[in-house]
Chains A and B, each alone.
Chain A
């Protein structure tokens, strides 16, 4: 069930260039079910900035009633968020949207992430591993400075890193790594820039895949119709990224 809560900040730290890791505690954490869901955060009590920020969830600790988010402090809102410290409280609305269906994987899954699309794949990897699914992680970043959670992913399975400038791992995009890897998996999950999702979708037309999309949002709960996408199902059909997604089966969204 969706809740709004002033959650307590347990920890905030910078983990890569412009990338921050933020852990919060509260009863809202107990509502978290699927990896890939997100929360909507009000970064200031004033009207400036006005709208909430959708932030994805990187890991969930139900026992401690905590969850961790990883975000890039890029615009004004996320920069304000980065100034918050342990002990501060934060207005959080969530959990929102539908995440990755972990039960769809049979034996082996590819988890393909780009940039700030990588965080939700970490909780996904944890939950898939807990179900006995082998996970292979293919993660793309801008440069070595922007890489985060590499060791954590390695702890859960085979992990490949690509950087655009070649300063770490393979030079290029995640697709360069995918071209070299055997397609011996049954299900793939992907989160990142739309161009990357498209490329991944084209690479494995025969495989079962789930893609997490991004779109500018107003309300985050499906009421404002800001984040709609057309679908391949019909000319008159549309879906809302915030409440119908952000995760959709491959082949559904026209981006």
Chain B
């Protein structure tokens, strides 16, 4: 019997697979396709204090083995997420990781305080790395001092463990990881998208209306693995890894690099059943590789 369970601060996961924030809405669309209770957890779409309409369209563009997006944190706002989306998700036996975004420290604190009270929210993911909003977002994630202080402020008000979502758009990701550890973070999620662009060859204009967008998909997997490998050597914080995961072997790679659990993002758009498919394939793949549990794999690359 292969043990898929993973214990992380605030999260007793029945398996290490969860849809990544921003790629799964608030679960309703995918609930039409399969039972969400199969998932290890769900990272819901970023929530801000007020509703956000997001950026103009086009918001997505395809790239080589990836996609660019600049949705702009569109969401119905704290009141509706707490009042409608989270209660709706209560019928599923799955822990929710609420993604918190804002443009000021006060925004983050307000959302974190309120949303962490919801009975099915077991952890927060603090989004200090969204590249698609002009103010806030990424600015919190690129300066270690700012990241540390924001972590501290959120930790003070949160009723559940706090994971900080790191940006890959920095020179030294380890320094940011160390800073959020000092700030009291319970864990790290990484990586968010890489800032990128695509041009319309005929007109010379950028395709994304916001000019730049966040690159995701298989194209960014090597970057994610490298960063998780580095960060896991320099902090004690558990890592939920993400960035281009599309199949069961990618999950093995992320666990080996040092992630304790794995989130699947863009691949949900390519194959909406990708999460339950990976969960179903994981025991056999672990068995083939000679492992009895997911936890045996975590950080195995460092032990070789």
Contact = CB atoms under 8 A, between A and B. Distances in A.
Interface of A: 1-2, 4, 42, 47-52, 93, 215-230, 236, 238, 243
B288 interface: no
Contact of A216 (B33, B58, B66): B58
Given A50-B218, A52-B270, A223 B25 contact: yes
Given A47-B217, A50-B67, 19 more contacts: A2-B32, A4-B272, A47-B246, A50-B218, A50-B266, A51-B62, A216-B61, A218-B69, A218-B269, A219-B23, A221-B32, A222-B25, A222-B29, A223-B23, A223-B29, A224-B25, A225-B45, A226-B57, A238-B74
A227 B60 CA distance: 9
A227 B269 contact: no
Interface string B1-29: 00000000000000000000011110011
A215 B58 CA distance: 8
Contacts of A230: 53
Contacts of B32: 1-2, 221
Contacts of B67: 50-51, 218
Contacts of A218: 60, 67, 69, 269
Given A48-B64, A50-B65, A225 B266 contact: no
B92 interface: no
B268 A219 contact: yes
Nearest to B57: A215
B269 A225 contact: no
23 contacts: A2-B33, A4-B33, A4-B272, A4-B273, A48-B65, A51-B62, A51-B269, A215-B58, A216-B61, A218-B60, A218-B69, A219-B29, A219-B272, A223-B268, A224-B60, A224-B269, A225-B25, A225-B59, A225-B74, A226-B58, A227-B57, A229-B57, A236-B51
A52 B273 CA distance: 14
B61 A224 contact: no
A220 B30 CA distance: 11
Contacts of A236: 51, 53
B60 to A, nearest CB: 4
A13 to B, nearest CB: 27
Nearest to A216: B58
Q: Is the interface of B mostly helix, strand, loop or mixed?
A: loop
A224 B71 contact: yes
Contact of B217 (A50, A222, A224, A225): A50
B54 interface: yes
Interface string B269-298: 111110000000000000000000000000
A229 B74 CA distance: 12
Given A4-B272, A93-B272, A243-B29, A224 B53 contact: no
Contacts of A226: 57-60, 69, 71
Nearest to B25: A223
Contacts of A49: 62
Contacts of B51: 236
A228 B69 CA distance: 13
A222 B270 CA distance: 14
Closest 10 A/B residue pairs (Cβ) = A223-B25, A223-B29, A226-B60, A47-B65, A219-B269, A221-B29, A222-B29, A47-B218, A216-B58, A226-B59
Contact of B272 (A50, A51, A221): A221
Contacts of B54: 225, 228
Interface in B49-103: 51, 53-54, 57-67, 69, 71, 74
A243 B32 CA distance: 12
Contacts of B57: 215-216, 226-229
Contacts of B71: 224-226
B65 A223 contact: no
Contacts of A52: 269-270
A218 to B, nearest CB: 5
